Amino acid sequence: MLQRTKYELVQENGQRRLTAPEIVRSEKERTKGAEIFLGRLPRDCYEDELMPILETVGRLMELRLMLDFSGSTRGYAFALFDNSNIARRACAQLDGYEIRPGHRIGVVKSVDNCRLFFGGVPKNKSKEEFLKELKKILDDITDIYLYPSAHDKTLNRGFIFVEFKDHRAAAMARRKLIPGRVMLWDHEIAVDWADPEPGDPIDEEIMETVTALFVRNLTLEMTQQKVREVFQKNTQIPVLKLKKINHFAFIHYENREAAQNVMDIMTKPDGVAESEGWEVRWAKPIGATKILERQRCINEAIAKSNSQNLGQTYVKHTATKKSNVKSIVDMNGNNIVDLPSMHMIALQNFIKEKFNATCSFNCLRSVGTSSFMCKVSIFKEAQVLYEYNGELMPTKQDAIIVACIKMYHFVGTTFQSYLLRENEHYCMEQKHGINPVVGSPVSWDSQIDYN
């Protein structure tokens, strides 16, 4: 196998690492977000059995097989692909794959943690001082996140987060620091993995469409209006929408280019973010898990009070037609709102109102898995304007809900500025591209006025 593929096989630090030649020769960097976790592997399953399976999905860049002290595998491994799209496809195709008769494996996206938590650090030290000191003993540090005290901005909160080039660099740093006591300026420091950010991992293609910024480390006293004034004064770019919550804020812009310009201006060396100690980064879209949790809370709220105004555009659309939604009665005689029907009706009403078009829904079980996918199609005068193949979800209800929400979000944000102007016709050129929501093919018809 090694002769055929020219891959390099190395065993060190409790793992066997099979690496593609372009990575070994440093011709290509490891891609963040392109790694998957393979669990429930047979203990005698090695690279020669795994690699042919993984190669059916796409180019395999690295395979890390975890070993115990006897040399047997621990029953799990990590596979790195060329990009995040291949990794996502691998999860969909290989989760539940029968690797041997009666033995199915589990495959999910790996949490690519590149950040360590340092607790108990001196509160009177700055970011520059931490960088200088830690770079004496650790390699591949890319950034340090330090949060000022809420009461005294000259002091930090007694902990920092250290970002590394990749997961491997972070793991090597942790391995180096964990065995004994870590001392910084005569302070004993606790070091461990930083908790990963909550929510589902977001694909790079989706992140590249984000038009909102997340700002952290704002003072409690700073008002929402003051944040708006600071950003607009320093960038000369209007803020579309802003929401401040405690120490952080979400700032929305009209398009990606405007948001990118604001990011560049605010985070430049000696810029506003650096002088104020703010952290400015791209806001993360809500993942499917959080969407479903949010909808569960909405369902409970609707059940308690049918007249309650939930204050969100999407929920308003669903609430207007709840009287027509099929209700289910539980064993105690309580009505339970049928969420899938609610979301389908809401999307149908939205599409009819904005485009005078109709929707169709087709929910299918994925071949070879227990997952479901919902396909949403938009028609006008017997012509297909748009088709969206939803994400694989564990139940039919979840597949319908998530597909409706993401279709609503995509159409609503894509035509947001246009929809605010009445008596205007909009024609989009015929094009074939990638749906920024899920990566499925998309085609808009060029002959139809979307009014």
Q: In sequence order, what DSSP letters do the residues of 252-301 get, joined into one string? A: E-SSHHHHHHHHHHHHSTTSHHHHHT-EEEEPPPPPHHHHHHHHHHHHHH
Does 71 fall in a domain? Answer: yes
Residues 188 and 242 in one domain: no
Does 407 fall in a domain? Answer: yes
Burial code (b: 16+ CB inside 10 Å, e: under 16) for 382-394 equals eeebbbbbbbbbe
Residues 361 and 265 in one domain: no
Does 304 fall in a domain? Answer: no
Separation CA 318–CA 339 (nearest Å): 9
CATH code (residue 69): 3.30.70.330
Give long-range contacts, CB 8 A cutoff, 24+ apart: 20-27. Answer: 20/59, 20/60, 20/61, 20/62, 22/61, 23/61, 23/62
Sign of CA dihedral 69, 71, 73, 78: positive
Sign of CA dihedral 415, 421, 423, 429: negative
Quote the tokens at residue 277: 């100690």
CATH code (residue 351): 3.30.160.20
Separation CA 314–CA 412 (nearest Å): 10
- Domain count along the chain: 4
CA terminus-to-terminus distance, the chain: 59
Does 306 fall in a domain? Answer: no
Residues 98 and 20 in one domain: yes
Residues 23 and 9 in one domain: yes
Does 165 fall in a domain? Answer: yes
Identify whether the C-beta of residue 344 lies closer than 8 Å to the C-beta of residue 373. no
pLDDT in tens, the chain (451 residues): 666 777 888 887 778 888 888 888 887 877 777 888 888 898 888 888 999 999 999 989 999 888 887 777 888 889 999 888 898 889 889 988 999 998 999 988 887 788 888 888 888 888 889 988 888 888 889 888 887 776 777 888 888 889 998 887 888 888 888 766 678 888 888 888 886 655 555 556 677 788 899 998 888 888 999 999 999 999 999 999 898 988 889 999 989 999 999 999 998 888 888 888 788 988 877 654 455 555 555 555 555 544 444 344 445 455 444 444 444 433 344 444 567 888 888 888 888 877 788 888 888 887 777 788 888 888 777 677 777 888 888 888 888 888 888 887 777 666 543 332 333 333 333 333 333 333 333 333 333 333 3
Beta bridge partner(s), residue 159: 119
Separation CA 129–CA 123 (nearest Å): 12
Pairing outcome for strands 441-444 and 431-434: antiparallel
Burial code (b: 16+ CB inside 10 Å, e: under 16) for 309-322 equals eeeeebbebbbeeb
Separation CA 346–CA 362 (nearest Å): 16
Q: Which domain holds residue 146?
A: 115-193
Q: Count of alpha carbons within 13 Å of 187, Cβ hemisphere only?
A: 17
Does 136 fall in a domain? Answer: yes
Tell me the H-state helices in 6-123: 21-24, 47-55, 84-94
Separation CA 164–CA 118 (nearest Å): 13
Residues 96 and 3 in one domain: yes
Residues 122 and 187 in one domain: yes
Chosen domain end from 155, 172, 193: 193
- pLDDT of 228 reads 93
Identify whether the C-beta of residue 450 lies closer than 8 Å to the C-beta of residue 426. yes
Chosen domain end from 193, 217, 245: 193
Identify whether the C-beta of residue 78 lies closer than 8 Å to the C-beta of residue 38. yes
Q: Is 14 left (phi over 0), alpha (psi -120 to 50) or beta?
A: left
Chosen domain end from 160, 193, 226: 193
Residues 43 and 125 in one domain: no
Does 265 fall in a domain? Answer: yes
Residues 187 and 210 in one domain: no
- CA angle in degrees (0–180, nearest 5) for 418-406-364: 135
Residues 89 and 156 in one domain: no
Does 184 fall in a domain? Answer: yes
Separation CA 410–CA 416 (nearest Å): 10
Residues 23 and 41 in one domain: yes
Identify whether the C-beta of residue 254 lies closer than 8 Å to the C-beta of residue 288. no
